[in-house]
Structure 1
Amino acid sequence: MSQVETSRTEEPGLRRDLSGRQVGMIAVGGAIGTGLFLGSGLAISIAGPAVIIAYAVGAFAALAVAYAIAEMVVVHPEPGGFGAIAQRYLGGAFGFVQRWIYFAAQVVNIGSEVVAAGLYLQFWYPQLPLWVPVVTFSVVMLAVNAAAVRYFGEFEYWFAMIKVVTIVVFILLGITYIVLGLPGRPATGVGALTEHQGFLPNGIGAVWLALTVVTFSYLGTEAMALTASESRNPARDVPRAARGTVLRLALFYIVGMLVVVSILPWNQVSTEDDVTQSPFVRLFAMAGIPAAAGIMNFVVLTAALSAMNTNLYVASRMTYSLARDGFAPRWFTGLSRSGAPVRALLLSAAGLALAAAISALSPDTAFPLLLGLALFGALVTWLIIFASHLAFRRSRAAEGLPPSPVRLPGAPVTTVLAMLFIIAVLVTTAFTEQFGTAWKAGVPFLVLLVVAYLLVRGRQGVRGDAD
């Protein structure tokens, strides 16, 4: 290992206190949130029952990014995860742009999760102003993230476990309802898949449009890369988390959507303008089990808070990595006595302030707006991850280094195909009503980051000459 690799891997501040089970659940916690429980209603309203195809296609893209990240992070388990790796193999500009645009995406994503949590609480308290739960949940999640990382990991483990267990129970109950029926209710069968204007009610083009929402649902898979520098055994834990996360996501999203659209007519699940209630909650309500609907609403509330909790974690670690490399003020490298980057966490809390402002000014459109703004930055992040993977493979082969113990099957062909898919989805967002603002905001922000990098690099060069 080179001197550079050693200096980056032996992190003197962040503590390696995350266990393997915590690393795995953090990845699940980041990926399963509003994308499944709330955003899925929007995807169904676009594609109808054929949304199942969109979720299956999205699962392959998530599988590719998970294995690409695991392959690289096992070799370089350093702060900043894929952002630091992009800097190593693609250069400072890519490392700077990727980390800052990912931070921006996470900040907005944090806001979308806390707004969704507020919407879920209104299931019980419809007269409650949305800003009240937004502020309350924000304070609680900031406190959790400010604690030692082992406490954060344990909190997130059990938070994520609630939704994992419940989704499994939901799927089993739904399959039972479809095949055998429930007490007092006959089996529904799968007629709803084709009875309401067919399996493709809006055509194959709608399935592609739904991929913009579906791909957002899988975003968060990359969160495990940020845990490597605090994992007790990253060589073991990160690959295991990659495999487990994608398998769980594929099961939950594909089978979960199959259950929803088999029982509920797709045009009654949700409309594009009505995302204030989860299709999961509505399914139980239609099944005549009010208590179960309330329980499910509690679960989706914890799911949103769990995803928000994880996103705060990864955003603060990304800020910490930027500050260490001189791409953010050094002040943000400050750690608490327990080793938590509390100063970086304060910057990450900007997303919560954004969510509070938007939810107070425009509660009816808060979630779709935040969803769209987060998408562009997250997709660009995935693109740079795949580009880093190609450079990583090429560099190790050129230097005669052994391959990583974890490898993306079919690479580099798999990597290139995944990149083309992400590019196609990204271009499609420009032609969708839901995500047009994301494209319009994303390109200027990307240009701004490039200009900012040139300015920062110029200042670093002057300092270097002075030294």
Structure 2
Amino acid sequence: MANFQDIQQRETGLKQHLTSAQMVMIAIGGAVGTGLFMGSAFAIGFAGPAVLVSYAIGAFISLLLIGCLGEMTVAHPTSGSFGAYAEYYLSPLAGFVVRYAYWAALVLAVGMEVTAVGIYMAYWFPTLPQWIWVALFSMILVGVNLRSVKVYGAVEYSFSAIKVAAIVGFVLIGSYVVFGARIPGIGFDNYQLGGGFWAKGVWGMWLGVIVAMFSYLGVEAIAVAAGEAQHPEQAVQRAMKTTVLRLVLFYLLTLALMLAIVPWTEAARQTSPFVRVMEVIGLPGAAGVLNFVVLVAALSAMNSQLYTTSRMMFSLSRAAQAPRIFGTTNASGVPAAAILVSSLGAAIAMFVNAFWPKESFVWMMSIAMFGAMFAWFMVFVTHFAFRLRRRREGAPDVAFRMWGFPWLTLLGALLMAGVLLTTALTPEFRLTLAFGIPWLLVLALVYWLKRKP
């Protein structure tokens, strides 16, 4: 391939309507969802109070990823994003595998988020089957995505704004309760219960990183959205510089306060420890309000993931690596067929919920995380090749550069590889590699058969 402009030209047809503010909210929408409000209970169970260290490590890896991905995105803003970069700077096989692995992961993540929606709705309607809510909200959000990217951006901005306002409110109320109210049984002394801050040891803290990484997955949506952004180079820079900071503050502050209000041994057993915090505080109706917020959070994350995965399928089609229909757009510039096929996760969630409602969330999370984590690992590998090739060709520096190259790029790849390998040693996440490795082999085989004359 002569130059990257060929890929960008190949992926034209989408409307550039997203603002930098909407792009920030899209990233927050993908990353602040079930991973924080429900997944935190799993992470606390693994790590105890040291879950704060787990999420700090996850934030550090996210920061490295944003640096690598941001530099490549400013150089080449396109909806194919890291899949297109892998195709150009590594090989067409790498681009094929990364895009399909990531697409499948987000398809399942969509199902996981809508599974959480069913769980949250059971708070108000405990007698109704969860799959009814899965079906209802899936149809609504697919309809939003089919309208136009402008409608999607506005809805996602509203969803994320509700989440941000709720988290800020939680931090303010929690700070007052911990530092000002002097309520017996509430305070940082709770960190010492059940064995202390390191009750689960360093290994438990590292296992918590698995869930923390799943919580941060979604920040890469900024790069995918660059193909539909107004003034993408400037929008990407502004969005990426603010997103990680906001996510770190949201996750670490909320978890620190939550563990001071509810002992970690109790929080680890809750479906949503945040709802439990509101019950402990005793604000009238607060638990119901927060349940509405976590419901919105799951819908927001599902909305963001459906958008991202549909654009990855669009990119695959334009690269002649998926049926041609998935690369077509309607009059509003929306890849309707790609959106519909990417909503398969909701159908899978309905089926799994109908037969295994209790196990469905953990199953879908452990399988979904492989493709997304593999894509993050490949971002670091691709960035290494990106820098070396541009240096070899004498290409000018871009306005947004990853710092500490090559050492921090290599450290990011090493940490992501470590997190992925750790899933094989954790009973709750053994499905991650058990599904992921055969999936990569199948993708490589399909690519080879497709390329064979």
User: TM-score higher than 0.5 here?
Assistant: yes
Q: Distance in 1 between matches of 2:10 and 2:397?
A: 22
Q: Distance in 2 between matches of 1:78 and 1:439?
A: 30
Q: Distance in 1 between matches of 2:193 and 2:325?
A: 60
Q: Distance in 2 between matches of 1:74 and 1:226?
A: 12
Q: Distance in 2 between matches of 1:270 and 1:362?
A: 22
CA contact (8 A) 2:74 2:236 kept: yes
1:420 to 414, 431, 435: 414
* Distance change >3 Å, CA 10–CA 347, structure 1 → 2: closer
CA contact (8 A) 1:260 1:283 kept: yes
For these two proteins, the number of residue pairs brought into alignment is: 453
CA contact (8 A) 1:177 1:187 kept: no
Q: What is residue 16 of structure 2 aligned with on the other side?
A: 16
TM-score normalised by length of structure 1? 0.95
2:425 to 428, 431, 434: 431
**1:211-262 C-alpha deviation (Å, 9 max, x unpaired):** 1111111111111111111001111111211121111110011111101111
CA contact (8 A) 2:371 2:436 kept: yes
1:303 to 297, 307, 319: 297
- Aligned residue for 1:335, secondary structure, equals coil
Q: Distance in 2 between matches of 1:128 and 1:181?
A: 39
CA contact (8 A) 1:146 1:342 kept: yes
User: Does the alignment pair 1:48 with 2:20?
Assistant: no
- Aligned residue for 2:428, secondary structure, equals coil
Q: Distance in 2 between matches of 1:457 and 1:145?
A: 33
CA contact (8 A) 2:4 2:88 kept: no
User: Does the alignment pair 1:314 with 2:308?
Assistant: yes
Q: Distance in 2 between matches of 1:389 and 1:250?
A: 23
1:247 to 242, 245, 248: 245
- Aligned residue for 2:75, secondary structure, equals coil
Shift of 1:187: 8.3
Q: CA RMSD in A?
A: 1.5
Q: How does 1:319-398 map to 2 (within 5 A)?
A: 319-398=313-392
Q: Distance in 2 between matches of 1:24 and 1:195?
A: 38
**1:409-438 C-alpha deviation (Å, 9 max, x unpaired):** 212110100111111111100010110011
Q: What is residue 465 of structure 1 aligned with on the other side?
A: none
Letter in structure 2 aligned against 1:238: V
2:266 to 265, 268, 278: 268
**1:319-359 C-alpha deviation (Å, 9 max, x unpaired):** 00000001101111121110100000111011111111101
Letter in structure 2 aligned against 1:74: V
Shift of 1:186: 5.6
Shift of 1:79: 2.4
Percent identity at matched positions?
Answer: 43
Structure 2: gaps of 5 or more residues: none
- Aligned residue for 1:435, secondary structure, equals helix
Structure 1: gaps of 5 or more residues: 463-467
2:273 to 279, 292, 303: 279
Shift of 1:439: 1.2
User: Does the alignment pair 1:291 with 2:291?
Assistant: no
Shift of 1:189: 2.5
Letter in structure 2 aligned against 1:426: L
Q: What is residue 33 of structure 2 aligned with on the other side?
A: 33
CA contact (8 A) 1:24 1:237 kept: no
Q: How does 1:107-186 map to 2 (within 5 A)?
A: 107-181=107-181, 185=183
User: Does the alignment pair 1:444 with 2:442?
Assistant: no
Greater than 4 Å deviation, 4+ residue runs = none
Q: What is residue 225 of structure 1 aligned with on the other side?
A: 223
Q: Distance in 1 between matches of 2:450 and 2:32?
A: 36
TM-score normalised by length of structure 2? 0.97
- Aligned residue for 2:330, secondary structure, equals coil
Q: Distance in 2 between matches of 1:339 and 1:368?
A: 36
Shift of 1:195: 2.7
CA contact (8 A) 2:4 2:76 kept: no
Q: What is residue 195 of structure 1 aligned with on the other side?
A: 193
* Distance change >3 Å, CA 166–CA 9, structure 1 → 2: farther
Shift of 1:11: 4.8
- Aligned residue for 1:434, secondary structure, equals helix
Q: What is residue 453 of structure 1 aligned with on the other side?
A: 447
Shift of 1:290: 4.2
Shift of 1:270: 2.6
